Amino acid sequence: MTDYAVVNPATGQTLATYDTFTDAQIDDAIAAAHEAFLVWARTPVAERAAVVRRIAQLHRERRDEFAEIIVREMGKPIAAAEGEVDFAADIVEFYADNAEKITADQPIDILGDGSAVVRRAPIGVLLGIMPWNFPAYQVARFAAPNLVLGNTILLKHAPQCPESALLLERIYEDAGLPAGAYVNVFATNEQAARIVADPRVQGVSVTGSERAGAAVAEIAGRNLKKVALELGGSDPFIVLSTDDMDATVQAAVDARLDNNGQACNGAKRMIVVDALYDDFVSRFVAKMAEVTASDPTREDTVLGPLSSEAAAERLQQQIDTARAQGATVLTGGQREGAFFPPTVLADVTPEMDVYREELFGPAAVVYRVADEAEAVRVANDTTFGLGSYVFTTDPEQAQRVADGIEAGMVYVNLVLADSPELPFGGVKRSGTSRELGLLAADEFVNKKLIRIG
């Protein structure tokens, strides 16, 4: 039996299949991770950091191999895949560099005599359930801080990324982790539920859809396990004023087409004040229409295929439904296999399905608003709350709007600015936790109080 296969979305060809683990293999993986925790948690922090730093080095040494695998598995353009591996290496290295800070005691000013500190200690085996859209980056931001803390990892990668999963397991092993400290599992959803329920497993992190997050959170809740969720998004791109419309439009295009439009924090709803709307939309549509979906193995490709033909079919259904309900397609809108052209929808109203949905592909919706207040209202009129983008020449307005937006992240006058030291996460149905930055190390850790009289 297999759920794990490499199917090249650009060609539709199945390149390799991998057997799902047996229940016995799952049990062995849990046991190995637990035994490794007993050793790894007691390894000095400096030694843990040195191994994690070697993991970053191996990402860089195997960059080309890793990037080629990513292209085959999910269609990311090769230049973007290389950049993803580089970013994953930077993230891993960030946690190695900050190991002492992450694990340092936190003194508390107490009211009585004596002293008190919060000491951060690992909690045990963690399960990571990772998505296909960033096969290297997503794993790095979960695994690296937790390995530095002394936790051990069971990693269930997306079924369409088995070769990324195996390469990562080799990288972590070759870096010098004790056997079992990082274990790949080709698990079914039912087996993943068993892993979460196992008393040796102390937490689970999920990056994926709302449906997947809710399903895992339900299982974790029944078993009293900590769960971290990084889910979907329908991020607003708010244009209130600009002194360079071409640059603003290019930022919107870049933020929408990044990762073939398959990023949870991609800008998906362009919300533009009335005075700038016509100019912005005409340039935005022209720029989107200039981009052609093409062979992801070419270094000059900007937009490759979606991750699968099924993904393209889902997006096509959303666009067709929006059109039938009265939306206007300004450009694009018709797939060819797994390839989908840049698409722009207008005249979308709250009564339409697409108003509430996440468009996971190179499709955007444009909205005309009267002023700042309406822009914030439309931006917040969603069940999601991951990221957001605000373009304005007024610094005070930027602060007001940033305060008013219901999202975990606000970027002002820039896009694609994620960095290892910046926390990533959302609110509402976009998730419950933070990854990246120092906050990531607070998700799965025992913040133990030590009070001395």
* Sheet architecture: strand order including 201-207: 182-184, 152-156, 125-129, 201-207, 226-230
CA separation for the pair 233, 269 (Å, rounded): 10
CA nearest to 410, candidates 257, 420, 397? 397
Which residue is listed with tokens 């610094």? 395
In the annotation, is 218 catalytic? no
CA–CA distance, 51 with 96 (Å, rounded to integer): 8
Q: Which residues are CB-neighbours of 59 under 8 A, at least 6 positions away?
A: 66, 85, 86, 88, 89, 92, 136, 140, 171
Active-site residue, 230 included: yes
The CB density around residue 42, as the number of other CB atoms within 10 Å, is: 9
Alpha-carbon distance 159 to 3, whole Å?
Answer: 6
Collect all residues with Cβ–Cβ distance below 8 Å to 235 and sequence separation of at least 6.
265, 266, 267, 268, 269, 384, 386, 387, 388, 389, 407
Which of these is catalytic: 82, 84, 93, 264? 264
CB contact at 8 A, 420 and 403: no
* β 267-273/363-369 pair status: parallel
The catalytic position among 173, 230, 372, 443 is: 230
- Report yes or no: 222 and 266 within 8 Å, Cβ to Cβ: no
Which burial class, exposed, middle or buried, applies to 369 when counting CB atoms under 10 A from its CB (0-12, 13-18, 19+)? Answer: buried
Residues with a catalytic annotation lie at 230, 264
